[in-house]
Amino acid sequence: MTHFVNCTPHAITVEGLGTLPPSGIIPRCATVRQEVDASWDVIANVRIVRQTFGEVQGLPEATPGIMLIVSGMVLGALNGSRPDVCAPDTGADAIRENGQIVAVRGFVV
């Protein structure tokens, strides 16, 4: 039986599973910020920087029977390298109230 561990900072309600509280484990993508070309330094008196994302940090090692739920950004950065990692499916069929997602029907891998 698979046990889901919510590695996001938010409770996630999953249709058929209930609400999964945050575990306190929050993997993130390393962030690299760099100043852009001088011609783009200031637009309307606002500084502009380029931000890129690097390696995933803080992701636990794989454990049999455990599926880690992470953000879509972290899942994308892993590029399919971890079969034990998924993200909430916040696509068109997510359950919404007043435009806000209140539950998902499953996960993406």
pLDDT of amino acid 36:
74
Where residue 89 falls among pLDDT bands split at 50, 70, 90?
very high
The model's pTM: 0.84
pLDDT of amino acid 43:
59
Residues paired with residue 33 on neighbouring β-strands, in sequence order: 51
Where residue 5 falls among pLDDT bands split at 50, 70, 90?
very high
Rg from Cα positions in the chain: 17
Coil, strand, or helix at residue 104?
A: strand
Summarize pLDDT for 17-72 with one digit per residue, the tens.
999 999 999 999 999 888 776 665 455 667 778 888 889 999 999 999 999 999 99
Which value, to the nearest 10 degrees, does the dihedral of the CA atoms of residues 15, 95, 21, 83 take? 70
